[in-house]
Amino acid sequence: VDKNSQRLTIAIQKSGRLSKESISLLQACGFKFSLHEARLLAHSSNQPVDLLRVRDDDIPGLVMDGVVDLGLVGENVLEEVRLERKATQLACEVQRLRALDFGQCRLSIAVPKEEAYNGIQDLDGKRIATTYPYLLQNYLQQRGVAANNAILTGSVEVAPRAGLADAVCDLVSTGATLEANGLVEKEVIFRSQAQLIQRPEPLSAAKQAIIDQLLPRIDGVQMARE
Protein backbone atom coordinates (compact mmCIF):
# COMPACT_ATOMS: atom_id res chain seq x y z
CA VAL A 1 0.00 0.00 0.00
CA ASP A 2 1.36 3.39 -1.04
CA LYS A 3 0.90 5.72 1.92
CA ASN A 4 1.10 8.79 -0.32
CA SER A 5 -1.48 7.56 -2.75
CA GLN A 6 -4.31 9.94 -3.46
CA ARG A 7 -6.65 6.94 -3.48
CA LEU A 8 -8.61 6.36 -0.30
CA THR A 9 -7.82 2.90 1.08
CA ILE A 10 -10.44 1.00 3.05
CA ALA A 11 -9.60 -2.22 4.91
CA ILE A 12 -12.38 -4.79 5.19
CA GLN A 13 -12.51 -8.42 6.32
CA LYS A 14 -11.58 -10.71 3.46
CA SER A 15 -13.77 -13.62 4.39
CA GLY A 16 -15.92 -13.98 7.44
CA ARG A 17 -18.94 -12.65 9.21
CA LEU A 18 -18.33 -8.99 8.32
CA SER A 19 -17.31 -9.39 4.67
CA LYS A 20 -20.61 -9.47 2.83
CA GLU A 21 -22.17 -6.62 4.76
CA SER A 22 -19.04 -4.49 4.53
CA ILE A 23 -19.02 -4.79 0.75
CA SER A 24 -22.75 -4.32 0.37
CA LEU A 25 -22.67 -1.19 2.54
CA LEU A 26 -19.91 0.34 0.41
CA GLN A 27 -21.75 -0.62 -2.77
CA ALA A 28 -24.97 0.86 -1.43
CA CYS A 29 -22.98 4.06 -0.85
CA GLY A 30 -22.20 4.17 -4.56
CA PHE A 31 -18.74 2.63 -4.82
CA LYS A 32 -18.40 0.08 -7.61
CA PHE A 33 -15.99 -2.82 -7.05
CA SER A 34 -15.31 -6.03 -8.86
CA LEU A 35 -13.84 -8.46 -6.39
CA HIS A 36 -11.57 -11.33 -7.34
CA GLU A 37 -11.50 -13.99 -4.67
CA ALA A 38 -7.73 -14.36 -4.60
CA ARG A 39 -6.86 -10.66 -4.65
CA LEU A 40 -5.95 -8.62 -1.64
CA LEU A 41 -6.58 -5.29 -3.34
CA ALA A 42 -9.70 -4.23 -5.26
CA HIS A 43 -9.92 -0.90 -7.09
CA SER A 44 -13.19 0.93 -7.36
CA SER A 45 -14.08 1.57 -10.98
CA ASN A 46 -15.96 4.82 -10.32
CA GLN A 47 -14.10 6.47 -7.40
CA PRO A 48 -10.46 6.88 -6.32
CA VAL A 49 -10.98 4.21 -3.67
CA ASP A 50 -9.22 0.90 -3.04
CA LEU A 51 -10.36 -1.96 -0.84
CA LEU A 52 -7.78 -3.94 1.07
CA ARG A 53 -9.12 -7.34 2.07
CA VAL A 54 -7.44 -8.78 5.16
CA ARG A 55 -8.10 -10.73 8.37
CA ASP A 56 -10.28 -8.71 10.69
CA ASP A 57 -7.62 -8.86 13.43
CA ASP A 58 -5.25 -6.86 11.21
CA ILE A 59 -7.67 -4.02 10.49
CA PRO A 60 -7.29 -1.90 13.67
CA GLY A 61 -3.48 -1.92 13.50
CA LEU A 62 -3.46 -0.98 9.83
CA VAL A 63 -5.68 2.03 10.61
CA MET A 64 -3.77 2.99 13.79
CA ASP A 65 -0.50 2.91 11.86
CA GLY A 66 -2.01 4.94 9.02
CA VAL A 67 -1.26 2.22 6.47
CA VAL A 68 -4.90 2.43 5.38
CA ASP A 69 -7.28 5.37 5.73
CA LEU A 70 -10.46 3.65 6.84
CA GLY A 71 -11.43 0.27 8.25
CA LEU A 72 -14.62 -1.63 8.92
CA VAL A 73 -14.19 -3.85 11.96
CA GLY A 74 -15.97 -5.21 15.02
CA GLU A 75 -15.63 -3.14 18.19
CA ASN A 76 -14.56 -6.33 19.97
CA VAL A 77 -11.47 -6.61 17.76
CA LEU A 78 -10.90 -2.84 17.80
CA GLU A 79 -10.89 -2.72 21.61
CA GLU A 80 -8.78 -5.87 22.01
CA VAL A 81 -6.13 -4.54 19.62
CA ARG A 82 -6.26 -1.09 21.27
CA LEU A 83 -5.58 -2.59 24.71
CA GLU A 84 -2.84 -4.84 23.36
CA ARG A 85 -1.09 -2.02 21.51
CA LYS A 86 -1.44 0.34 24.45
CA ALA A 87 0.25 -2.25 26.67
CA THR A 88 3.08 -2.66 24.18
CA GLN A 89 3.40 1.09 23.51
CA LEU A 90 2.36 0.99 19.88
CA ALA A 91 0.14 3.62 18.28
CA CYS A 92 -3.42 2.84 19.36
CA GLU A 93 -5.50 5.88 18.36
CA VAL A 94 -8.27 5.85 15.78
CA GLN A 95 -11.19 8.09 14.90
CA ARG A 96 -14.51 6.32 15.21
CA LEU A 97 -16.67 7.62 12.40
CA ARG A 98 -19.84 5.54 12.59
CA ALA A 99 -21.37 2.58 14.38
CA LEU A 100 -22.60 0.23 11.65
CA ASP A 101 -25.79 -1.79 11.82
CA PHE A 102 -24.22 -5.24 11.44
CA GLY A 103 -21.83 -7.61 13.23
CA GLN A 104 -23.78 -7.53 16.47
CA CYS A 105 -22.44 -9.97 19.04
CA ARG A 106 -21.26 -10.08 22.63
CA LEU A 107 -18.15 -11.36 24.33
CA SER A 108 -19.20 -13.53 27.25
CA ILE A 109 -17.82 -15.80 29.91
CA ALA A 110 -19.43 -19.24 29.95
CA VAL A 111 -18.92 -22.22 32.24
CA PRO A 112 -19.76 -25.93 31.90
CA LYS A 113 -23.43 -26.44 32.77
CA GLU A 114 -22.65 -28.93 35.53
CA GLU A 115 -20.51 -26.35 37.39
CA ALA A 116 -22.15 -24.28 40.12
CA TYR A 117 -21.72 -20.55 39.46
CA ASN A 118 -22.56 -17.87 42.01
CA GLY A 119 -20.74 -14.93 40.51
CA ILE A 120 -17.52 -13.67 39.04
CA GLN A 121 -15.55 -14.48 42.25
CA ASP A 122 -16.02 -18.16 41.44
CA LEU A 123 -13.55 -17.66 38.60
CA ASP A 124 -10.73 -16.67 40.95
CA GLY A 125 -7.76 -18.95 40.30
CA LYS A 126 -9.48 -20.62 37.34
CA ARG A 127 -8.29 -20.94 33.75
CA ILE A 128 -10.37 -19.21 31.11
CA ALA A 129 -9.84 -20.00 27.42
CA THR A 130 -10.14 -17.00 25.10
CA THR A 131 -8.91 -15.27 21.98
CA TYR A 132 -9.51 -11.92 23.75
CA PRO A 133 -6.96 -11.91 26.58
CA TYR A 134 -6.84 -8.11 26.99
CA LEU A 135 -10.60 -7.55 27.12
CA LEU A 136 -10.93 -10.46 29.53
CA GLN A 137 -8.11 -9.37 31.85
CA ASN A 138 -9.43 -5.82 31.84
CA TYR A 139 -12.84 -7.03 32.98
CA LEU A 140 -11.48 -9.42 35.63
CA GLN A 141 -9.00 -6.90 37.02
CA GLN A 142 -11.70 -4.28 37.50
CA ARG A 143 -13.57 -6.84 39.61
CA GLY A 144 -10.57 -8.03 41.58
CA VAL A 145 -10.60 -11.52 40.09
CA ALA A 146 -7.28 -13.25 39.38
CA ALA A 147 -8.02 -15.84 36.73
CA ASN A 148 -5.50 -17.23 34.29
CA ASN A 149 -5.98 -16.72 30.58
CA ALA A 150 -5.52 -19.74 28.37
CA ILE A 151 -5.01 -18.06 25.01
CA LEU A 152 -6.32 -20.09 22.10
CA THR A 153 -6.69 -18.81 18.56
CA GLY A 154 -9.59 -21.11 17.77
CA SER A 155 -11.90 -23.83 19.11
CA VAL A 156 -12.24 -21.96 22.39
CA GLU A 157 -15.63 -23.57 23.05
CA VAL A 158 -14.22 -27.09 23.30
CA ALA A 159 -11.46 -26.14 25.77
CA PRO A 160 -13.33 -27.10 28.96
CA ARG A 161 -14.30 -30.55 27.68
CA ALA A 162 -10.76 -31.07 26.43
CA GLY A 163 -9.49 -30.31 29.91
CA LEU A 164 -7.65 -27.19 28.74
CA ALA A 165 -9.64 -24.68 30.78
CA ASP A 166 -12.37 -24.30 33.41
CA ALA A 167 -14.36 -21.69 31.51
CA VAL A 168 -14.39 -19.81 28.20
CA CYS A 169 -14.63 -16.17 27.17
CA ASP A 170 -15.93 -16.19 23.61
CA LEU A 171 -18.15 -14.36 21.13
CA VAL A 172 -21.82 -15.20 21.31
CA SER A 173 -24.71 -14.22 19.10
CA THR A 174 -27.47 -16.84 19.52
CA GLY A 175 -25.80 -19.00 22.17
CA ALA A 176 -26.25 -22.15 20.05
CA THR A 177 -22.52 -22.91 19.95
CA LEU A 178 -22.21 -22.62 23.72
CA GLU A 179 -25.24 -24.82 24.22
CA ALA A 180 -23.89 -27.45 21.82
CA ASN A 181 -20.74 -27.59 23.92
CA GLY A 182 -22.50 -27.88 27.27
CA LEU A 183 -21.65 -24.31 28.29
CA VAL A 184 -23.85 -21.71 29.96
CA GLU A 185 -23.33 -17.97 29.46
CA LYS A 186 -22.74 -16.23 32.81
CA GLU A 187 -21.18 -12.81 32.25
CA VAL A 188 -21.44 -10.48 29.25
CA ILE A 189 -18.16 -8.61 29.25
CA PHE A 190 -18.44 -6.61 26.02
CA ARG A 191 -21.22 -5.80 23.53
CA SER A 192 -20.12 -5.22 19.97
CA GLN A 193 -21.11 -4.22 16.48
CA ALA A 194 -19.16 -3.21 13.40
CA GLN A 195 -17.58 0.26 13.32
CA LEU A 196 -16.18 2.50 10.62
CA ILE A 197 -12.84 3.83 11.81
CA GLN A 198 -10.35 6.32 10.38
CA ARG A 199 -6.63 6.76 10.88
CA PRO A 200 -5.78 9.44 13.45
CA GLU A 201 -3.87 11.98 11.31
CA PRO A 202 -5.72 14.37 9.00
CA LEU A 203 -6.15 13.21 5.40
CA SER A 204 -5.50 15.05 2.16
CA ALA A 205 -8.34 17.28 0.99
CA ALA A 206 -9.11 14.86 -1.84
CA LYS A 207 -9.49 11.89 0.52
CA GLN A 208 -11.42 13.92 3.06
CA ALA A 209 -13.85 14.97 0.36
CA ILE A 210 -14.64 11.32 -0.36
CA ILE A 211 -15.28 10.66 3.32
CA ASP A 212 -17.47 13.76 3.59
CA GLN A 213 -19.55 12.30 0.80
CA LEU A 214 -19.50 8.77 2.22
CA LEU A 215 -20.73 9.50 5.76
CA PRO A 216 -24.14 10.98 4.88
CA ARG A 217 -24.64 8.11 2.45
CA ILE A 218 -23.95 5.59 5.22
CA ASP A 219 -26.44 7.43 7.42
CA GLY A 220 -28.99 7.31 4.62
CA VAL A 221 -28.48 3.60 3.95
CA GLN A 222 -28.72 2.75 7.64
CA MET A 223 -31.76 4.96 8.16
CA ALA A 224 -33.55 3.27 5.27
CA ARG A 225 -32.88 -0.15 6.82
CA GLU A 226 -34.40 0.72 10.21
Indicate whether 79 belongs to the interface with ligand ATP (CB under 6 A): no
Indicate whether 179 belongs to the interface with ligand ATP (CB under 6 A): no
Question: At closest approach, how far in Å is the CB of 140 from ligand ATP?
Answer: 20
Closer of 59 and 111 to Zn ion (Cβ):
59
Among 3, 20, 55, 143, binds ligand ATP (CB under 6 A): 55
Task: Report the C-alpha gap between 6 and 203 in whole angstroms.
Answer: 10
Question: At closest approach, how far in Å is the CB of 190 from Zn ion?
Answer: 15
Indicate whether 79 belongs to the interface with Zn ion (CB under 5 A): no
Indicate whether 84 belongs to the interface with Zn ion (CB under 5 A): no
Contact 136, 130 (CB under 8 A): yes
Print the binding letters for residues 108-127 with Zn ion: x by CB under 5 A, - otherwise.
Answer: --------------------
Closest residue by Cα to residue 170 from 133, 141, 139: 133
Indicate whether 76 belongs to the interface with ligand ATP (CB under 6 A): yes
Closest residue by Cα to residue 168 from 79, 192, 87, 154: 154
Indicate whether 18 belongs to the interface with ligand ATP (CB under 6 A): yes
Indicate whether 86 belongs to the interface with ligand ATP (CB under 6 A): no
Which partner, Zn ion, ligand ATP, none, binds residue 173 by CB below 5 to 8 Å per kind? ligand ATP
> Strand ranges (DSSP E) for the chain?
8-13, 41-43, 49-54, 70-74, 95-99, 105-112, 127-130, 148-151, 167-172, 183-192, 194-198
The DSSP string of 44-86 is BSSSSEEEEEE-GGGHHHHHHTTSSSEEEEEHHHHHHHHHHHH
Question: At closest approach, how far in Å is the CB of 196 from ligand ATP?
Answer: 13
Q: Please give the single-letter amino acid code of residue 191.
A: R
- Please classify residue 71 by burial: count the beta carbons closer than 10 Å to its beta carbon, then call 0-12 exposed, 13-18 middle and 19+ buried: buried
Q: Which residues bind ligand ATP (CB under 6 A)?
A: 13, 16-18, 55-57, 74, 76-77, 103, 105, 171, 173, 192
Q: Which residues bind Zn ion (CB under 5 A)?
A: 56-57
